[in-house]
Structure 1
Amino acid sequence: MQNPIASLHDNITRFGFYFGGATLVGIVICFWIEVVSRYFFNSPTLWSNALVAYFLCISVSLAMPELARTHGHIAITILSEKLPPVARVKYDRFLVMIAGIVCLITVWIVVDETLRQIGSGTTTAMGINVPKYWLSSFICYAFINTSFHFLRHAFFPAPAVDKNNT
């Protein structure tokens, strides 16, 4: 049975992943509107490119923790595959611990920048004028949530699953 806090963390991550998928729908809609307005009405929008960029930032930020949770990230495994099973487990745990620490350092940098944006009142450009810290908060969420998943994998590894017997 899984820890209720870990289960809540997984559910929040999964919800964010689905919300990130919804922003991809927003990207498609923005492109449709741009194509129709540009090529059928000869009146391109001023906001669609910016909104697509912001939706992409949100989508990636919300998908990143789910990839860490499910080990869905790209890995170069040539070294770990050559290690004996016991050493491989230790090596994999060490790598996810380092990844979690790097993500936490990134959180510190992003939070510092977000606070600077709040203090200076920095806003986005390209036709959509919203506080820039809104986007930075998604990036902060991405890295802190991803770091928690990496650290969970490092300190509380799930039992190995035999992929041939599932």
Structure 2
Amino acid sequence: MLAPIDKISDAAGRLAGWMFFVIGIFIVYEVVARYVFLSPTVWSEELSRFLQIWATYLAAAHVLRRRQLIAIDIIVRASGPRLRRWCESLALLVIIIFCLVAVYFGAGIAIDSIRIGRASSSMLAVPSWLTELAIPIGFGLLLLQAVTELIRTLGGSTDISASHH
């Protein structure tokens, strides 16, 4: 049951990595167009921002799977395995609760944008829901991975002091 969620998180992480790569290409293109050819684009900045938002939210579950979220663990690292497991479980529960809230309200905002036809104020006028949908999807993936990691932690099948890979 846990392996498919890991695979989804890894696939989302790879997709995010490619999105960041494309952002780099867009930015290089924009710099050359603007400063070499004196012909800036109307799309580069907005599409880069769009991809950055999606890549960031898509990468979150993958980062949790690899246990590379930012953490202050100086006290936990110095404690015994029982306290480490308890602290890890508590942290995962906080992540799960936050994800539930973000998915609920994020989906509501995206649905509202679809309903009223909200769009960006740029020349491209990208529908807002295309960006806003990254929040419930990204946090939904993070929620699934956090539940997976909690199951592993409670089952004792993970070493929280080291990453998975």
The bucket for the TM-score relative to the shorter chain is 0.7 to 0.9
Alignment of 1:96-115 (within 5 A): 96-115=92-111
User: Could you tell me which residue of structure 1 aligns to residue 41 of structure 2?
Assistant: 45
TM-score (norm 1): 0.87
Structure 2 residue corresponding to 1:159, chosen from 125, 139, 157: 157
Tell me the distance in 1 between the aligned counterparts of 2:121 and 2:25. 20
User: Could you tell me which residue of structure 1 aligns to residue 117 of structure 2?
Assistant: 121
Provide structure 1 residue ranges, at least 5 long, that are not aligned to the other structure.
none
Tell me the distance in 2 between the aligned counterparts of 1:25 and 1:88. 36
Work out whether residues 96 and 154 of structure 1, in 8 Å CA contact, stay in contact via their aligned partners in 2. yes
User: Could you tell me which residue of structure 1 aligns to residue 132 of structure 2?
Assistant: 136
Q: 1:57 to 1:44 in 2, by over 3 A?
A: same
Q: 1:127 to 1:80 in 2, by over 3 A?
A: same
Provide structure 2 residue ranges, at least 5 long, that are not aligned to the other structure.
none
Tell me the distance in 1 between the aligned counterparts of 2:137 and 2:109. 14
Work out whether residues 47 and 126 of structure 1, in 8 Å CA contact, stay in contact via their aligned partners in 2. no
Tell me the distance in 1 between the aligned counterparts of 2:144 and 2:69. 15
Alignment of 1:75-90 (within 5 A): 75-90=71-86
TM-score (norm 2): 0.87
User: Could you tell me which residue of structure 2 aligns to residue 13 of structure 1?
Assistant: 9
Tell me the distance in 1 between the aligned counterparts of 2:84 and 2:5. 27
Distance apart, 1:80 and its partner CA: 1.7
Distance apart, 1:69 and its partner CA: 1.4
Q: Which amino acid aligns with 1:81?
A: R
Q: Which amino acid aligns with 2:104?
A: W
Work out whether residues 104 and 147 of structure 1, in 8 Å CA contact, stay in contact via their aligned partners in 2. yes
Q: Percent identity?
A: 23
Verify: 1:64 aligned to 2:41, yes or no: no
Structure 2 residue corresponding to 1:26, chosen from 22, 26, 30: 22
Distance apart, 1:155 and its partner CA: 3.0
Aligned partner of residue 133 in structure 2, secondary structure? helix
- Tell me the matched-pair count: 160
- Between 1:83-92 and 1:143-152, the stretch displaced more is 83-92
Work out whether residues 60 and 138 of structure 2, in 8 Å CA contact, stay in contact via their aligned partners in 1. yes
